[in-house]
Amino acid sequence: MTALDSKYAIEMRDITKRFGHVVANNNVHLELKKGEILSLLGENGSGKTTLMNMLAGIYYPDEGQIFVNGAPVSIQSPKDAFDNGIGMIHQHFKLVDVFTAAENIVLGLEEEGRLDRKAIAAKVRDIAERYGFEINPDQKIYEMSVSQKQTVEIVKVLYRGANVLILDEPTAVLTPQETDKLFAVMRNMKADGKALIIITHKLHEVLDVSDRVAVLRKGEYIGDVPTKDATQQSLTDMMVGRATSLNIDRPDPVNPRPVLEVKNLTCIDKDGVKRLDGVSFTAVGGEILGIAGVAGSGQRELLEAISGLYPIVDGEIKYFPEDDAELQLRGMDPMAIRKAGIAMSFVPEDRLGMGLVSSMGMSGNMMLRSWKKGVGPFLKRKDPNQLAMDIWKNLEVVTPSIQYPVRRLSGGNVQKVLVGREIAAGPKLLMTAYAVRGLDINTSYTIYNLLTEQKMKGVAVVYVGEDLDVLLELCDRIAVLCGGQISGIVDARKTTKEEIGLLMTQFRKEGATA
Amino acid sequence: MSKTAHKGHAAEPFLRISKRDEGMSGWKAWGIRIIGLILALVVSAIVIYAIVNLNPLKVYVSMWQGAFGTSKRTWVTLRDIMTLLCIACALAPAFAMRFWNVGAEGQVLVGGIATAACMIYFNNMPTLLLFLVMILASIAAGAVWGLIPGFFKARWNTNETLFTLMMNYIAIQLTAFFVATWENPKGSNSVGVINRQTKTGWLPNLFSEGYNTDFGWNVIIVLIIATLVFIYLRETKHGYEISVVGDSENTARYAGIRVKQVYIRTMALSGAIAGLAGFLAVSGASHTISTQTAGGRGFTAIIVAWLSRMNTYVMLIFSALIIFLDKGATEIASSFGLNEYVSQIISGIILFFVLGSEFFVNYRVKLRGAKTGGASK
């Protein structure tokens, strides 16, 4: 067949890719038709990103053949990928912060003559207009929001004439409104004849935006279905291989009593910006308090301030170890908090950069809580080793040994190690930030169950989350943060998604009109 | 759009390099290293024959003799290996913390100045007490020299590489000042051998009477330091704190580690051990002080520490290799009347292959057409 007749923009045949002994992709077939949006679905570590990286020239397949427009090609570098009209928008942006959008877009293009900024800006505006982007070619990257940076990445790919766009979890960093905008743009690109592949974990997005869904499981190609024939349940079944109930078990709170009281908490960052502004709430033992909000509304600062990692300008943080005892946490650093015997556990957002030591194995990471315990100047390895073995077994962490560096584990296993350790410390207050971000469905449920178990033990659980459906099903109460302030605390059993959505944006709107 | 396509199978890249994830078994890794060494000897044999028309075997024998030919030479070689190892041990805690201490040169020098000062001013002290004072003084001087950049890093987050590097130049100027002060004889612009007659403050022989015929104390002191540093980094709370800070400052803060304190403490320790190396260089080897007392070993030790991944026992091997090549090169230059560049070429070739074999230990290289999983070298 000749190249132009093919109805497929991309075909991948019998693709196998190994990393050491791990088979990331095993005999995978994938076809992408011209002018369609294909969702690539799979749990964490199912090999989606690896497969796409082979199209983008980051990896080279060990076996198998890639066809573009029906012709066999060899993609050895990102440049080869561009020459074949393939562009990938990676999960982590690859932009130069101090350059403008336009400069980033033309970076690496080998064009004759001087850099004609006007012409470039005009072409960028043209692309933006055609597909409905909002972009200012002269804005510097460091001044941009995450969604604007993503726009630059997409325009960069289009500028280079890509006909096939691969988006690796593009919505993970976006607010719901930004996601809707992105999907509108994707539909415009499709109407223009481009073929798109989107990697995502969020089933409702799959159903919303794509024409066809292809599913990978543990590196194997499971199959594909037209989106119109798929439901959340059927896709989940394909992904996990067995039916998983979407219902999160939520027992009623037991013996509620206040454990933590935050009063009028105010924090200012290095640049003098108010990150938290008079935040007050109480976390109650035996219940899960959800914290909702658009990303960057002060969630990180709130949890870090409570755990002694973020400077506090004003306000109080009281901890109640017993009913009639009271401790002031403000002014304590993490070591002081631990020495005071405060049973606080914290699962931070940045798992490898804050919660764990990435170069150490599970056992070294267990020691992060207990390293002070050894005799004299020496470490005590026995207990953390035992704890690591227990967590390895009980939470089914996939790792060759407890000495294997955790940075080499997949995202879900990293989180199991972190959450396992924090729960094993026997907390009275357990704070988690985006505990299931980037995790597959199975691991997410493991985490929900662990948190609910803690709640039933009388622990006060604070759950900072982004998925409203989960917040509504998992939590007992939900506090909504908006621009560093609490815009409302609602009963999760009675509230609606709309109400929370409104609270999440309320202050911003008032601020805009005031 | 279609690129090179033959028989439906497009061209693979010629070479593909991937990291060995699971590492390599010990004997296999050593096999590769030994092959590397043999290749190095073969290639330099060809070079020797081609350039200077000498029998390569004779050259190798001469190299060996330069390092281990007589008992005296063997001891000198051992002594120099130990000094280099001591400096590398000094760098290990700082490097494990990802603190780029390139100031060992200066830390050794100030340790040497302190030692020389004690030898000159306290030459009436009882021997044992004098040694105690010399050791403490050299450790203290080195510790201060390390502590200063550590403190600035902790307090103002200054760049430690530039800071420690510049501290070297201060130490060199300081040494020049003291050389002028202690000049002996006047006008020689050098300190000369300190206490040449009395040998006060000279580290004595361990296995026999006298001085300078065995360097047993140097060996014992450094091996003890290497063992202590090994244990310190792996088995103590301080060592754990150092690893955590080196991995991520945020994680360290999260774990309740006082990061600034760790920076200052570790750099003081690093400087202290380097200062002790200065004591060994002055009291245990040259018995004088000059701006050449550290002699670039503060920088060579960076290579040793880094190649050994902060494992002090592996450092012993790399120190030995580097000193052996150095001694051997000097010997062949003099005994065959060669230009010293020829011997440097030989050292270069051997180092190239030995270091090159580390690449094959850590990475897997696959040639085009080879079946997956097989090719290891």
Q: Which amino acid is at A227?
A: T
Are residues B301 and B88 in contact, defined by beta-carbon separation less than 8 angstroms? Answer: yes
| Cβ proximity of A478 and A465 under 8 Å | no
Q: Of the ranges A83-87, B21-25, B37-41, which one carries the lowest mean pLDDT score?
A: B21-25
Six token digits for residue A251: 């027992």
What is the least distance, in Å, from the CA of B330 to any CA of chain A? 42
Q: For residue B254, which residues of chain A lie inside 8 Å, CB to CB?
A: 307, 309, 334, 346, 348, 354-355, 368
B368 touches chain A (CB under 8 A): no
Report yes or no: B296 and B227 within 8 Å, Cβ to Cβ.
no
> What is the predicted pLDDT for the residue at B21?
60
Q: What is the DSSP letter of A115?
A: -
Least confident of A61-75, B166-180, B263-277: A61-75
- Across A305-452, the runs of DSSP E, i.e. the strands, are 314-319, 327-328, 344-347, 429-433
Whether the CB of A19 is below 8 Å from some CB of chain B: the reply is yes
Task: Inspect the interface and report whether the beta carbons of A19 and B21 lie closer than 8 Å.
Answer: yes
Touching check for A34 and chain B: CB below 8 Å? no
Residues of A in contact with B22 (CB under 8 A): 20-21, 400
Model pLDDT, residue A21: 66
Is residue A23 a contact partner of residue A219, using CB atoms and an 8 Å limit?
Answer: yes
DSSP string for residues in A89-114 = E-SS----TTSBHHHHHHTT---SSS
How close A416 comes to chain B (CA, Å)?
Answer: 17
Task: Give per-residue pLDDT as tens, B291-328.
Answer: 999 989 999 999 999 888 889 999 999 999 999 988 98
Domains delineated in chain A:
3-240 (3.40.50.300), 247-343+426-514 (3.40.50.300), 356-425 (no CATH)
Say if CB A246 and CB A451 are below 8 A apart: no
In B, minimum Cα distance to A305 occurs at B254
Residue A182 CA to residue A171 CA, distance in Å, equals: 8
Q: Is A348 at the interface with chain B, CB within 8 A? A: yes
A61 vs B: CB within 8 A: no
- Which chain A residues have a beta carbon less than 8 Å from that of B1? 3, 68-69, 71, 73, 84-85
Residue in chain B closest to A339 (alpha carbons) equals B256
- What pLDDT is recorded for position B163? 96
Residue B362 has pLDDT above 50, yes or no: yes
Q: For B116-157, write each residue's pLDDT tens digit.
A: 999 999 989 999 999 999 999 999 999 999 999 999 999 999
Q: Do B299 and B34 form a contact (C-beta atoms < 8 A)? A: no
Stretch among A109-118, B107-116, B273-282 having the lowest mean pLDDT: A109-118
* CB-CB neighbors (< 8 A) of A71 in chain B: 1-3, 5
pLDDT number for residue B26: 74
Q: What is the DSSP letter of A360?
A: S
Confidence of residue B227 (pLDDT cuts 50, 70, 90): very high
Q: Which residues of A touch B373 (CB under 8 A)?
A: 18
Cβ contact B254–A72 (<8 Å):
no
From A57, which residue of chain B is nearest by alpha-carbon distance?
Answer: B13
Using an 8 Å CB-CB cutoff, list chain A residues near B10: 65, 72-74
Backbone angles phi, psi at A328, to 5 degrees: -95, 120
- Measured between CA atoms, the residue of chain A closest to residue B242 is A357
Chain A neighbors of B13, CB-CB under 8 A: 60, 74, 76
Residue A2: its pLDDT value, please?
46
Q: Which residue of A has its CA nearest to B4?
A: A73
Report CB contact under 8 Å: A368, B9. no
Chain B residues in contact with A333 by the CB 8 A cut-off are 253, 256
pLDDT at residue B4 in the model: 40
What is the model's pLDDT at position B3?
41
Tokens representing A276 are: 């938290």
Strand A164-168 versus strand A86-89 pairing type = parallel
* Of B97, B99, B102, residue with least CA distance to B164: B102
ipTM: 0.81
3-state secondary structure of A49: helix
pLDDT, mean of residues B355-362? 83
Ordered mean pLDDT values, 10 residues apiece, chain A (514 residues): 68 89 86 93 80 92 92 91 92 87 86 81 90 89 86 92 91 79 92 91 82 90 91 77 63 88 92 87 94 84 94 94 85 90 92 93 93 88 93 90 88 91 94 87 88 94 87 92 89 83 60 35
Tokens encoding A350: 């940045």
Dig out the tokens for A227 from the structure: 């989106």
Tell me whether residues A60 and B13 touch, CB distance under 8 A.
yes
B157 in A contact zone (CB under 8 Å): no
Q: Does residue B105 sit at the A interface (CB-CB below 8 Å)?
A: no
Distances from the Cα of A113 to the Cα of A110, A116, A117, B11, angstroms = 10, 8, 12, 33
Residue B10 in this model has a pLDDT that exceeds 80: no
Query: Looking at residue A45, what is its pLDDT?
Result: 67
Query: Tokens 């010293």 appear where?
Result: B340
CA–CA separation, B295 and A431 (whole Å): 55
Distance between CA atoms of residues A50 and B213, nearest Å: 63
Average pLDDT score over residue span B28-38: 87
Rounded to a whole number of angstroms, the distance from the CA of A69 to the nearest CA of chain B is: 8
Q: Determine the distance in angstroms separating the CA of A394 from the nearest CA of chain B, rounded to an integer.
A: 24
pTM of the model: 0.75
What pLDDT shows up at residue B24? 67
Please indicate if any CB of chain B lies within 8 Å of the CB of A146: no
Q: What is the pLDDT of residues B81-90, one digit of tens each?
A: 999 999 999 9
Is the CB of residue B362 less than 8 Å away from at least one CB of chain A?
no
Split at pLDDT 50, 70, 90, the class of B108 is very high
Nearest-by-Cβ selection for A357 from B22, B247, B258: B247
**Do the Cβ atoms of A371 and B241 come within 8 Å?**
yes
Quote the Cα angle for A328-A332-A333, to 5°: 150
> Measured between CA atoms, how close is B294 to chain A, in angstroms?
32
Dihedrals φ, ψ of A196, to 5°?
Answer: -130, 145
Q: Which long-range contacts (CB under 8 A, 24 or more apart) does A495-498 make?
A: A497/A468, A497/A469, A497/A472
Tell me which residue in A72, A309, A337 faces B253 most closely, judged by beta carbons: A309
The residue length of chain B stands at 377
CB of A470 within 8 A of CB of A290?
no
Distance linking the first and last C-alpha atoms of chain B: 36
Cα separation, A479 vs A399, whole angstroms: 37
Q: Which residues of A touch B2 (CB under 8 A)?
A: 3, 68-69, 71-73
How is residue A152 written in tokens? Answer: 């630059």
Burial-class residue B109 by CB neighbours within 10 Å (0-12, 13-18, 19+). buried
Nearest CA in chain B to A351: B251
Backbone dihedral region for residue A296 (phi beyond 0: left; psi -120 to 50: alpha; all else: beta): left
Q: What is the 3-state secondary structure (H, E, C) of chain B?
A: CCCCCECCECCCCCEEEEECCCCCCHHHHHHHHHHHHHHHHHHHHHHHHHHHCCCHHHHHHHHHHHHHCCHHHHHHHHHHHHHHHHHHHHHHHHHHCCCCCCCHHHHHHHHHHHHHHHHHHCCCCCHHHHHHHHHHHHHHHHHHHHHHHHHHHHHHCCCHHHHHHHHHHHHHHHHHHHHHHCCCCCCCCCCCCCCCCCCCCCCCCCCCCCCCCCCHHHHHHHHHHHHHHHHHHHHEHHHHHHHHHHHCHHHHHHCCCCHHHHHHHHHHHHHHHHHHHHHHHHHHHHCCCCCCCCCCHHHHHHHHHHHCCCCHHHHHHHHHHHHHHHHHHHHHHHHCCCCHHHHHHHHHHHHHHHHHHHHHHHEEEEECCCCCCCCCC
Query: Is B337 exposed, middle or buried (CB count within 10 Å of its CB: 0-12, 13-18, 19+)?
Result: exposed
Q: What is the distance in angstroms between the Cα of A61 and the nearest Cα belonging to chain B? A: 9
- Tell whether the model's pLDDT for residue B180 goes beyond 60: yes
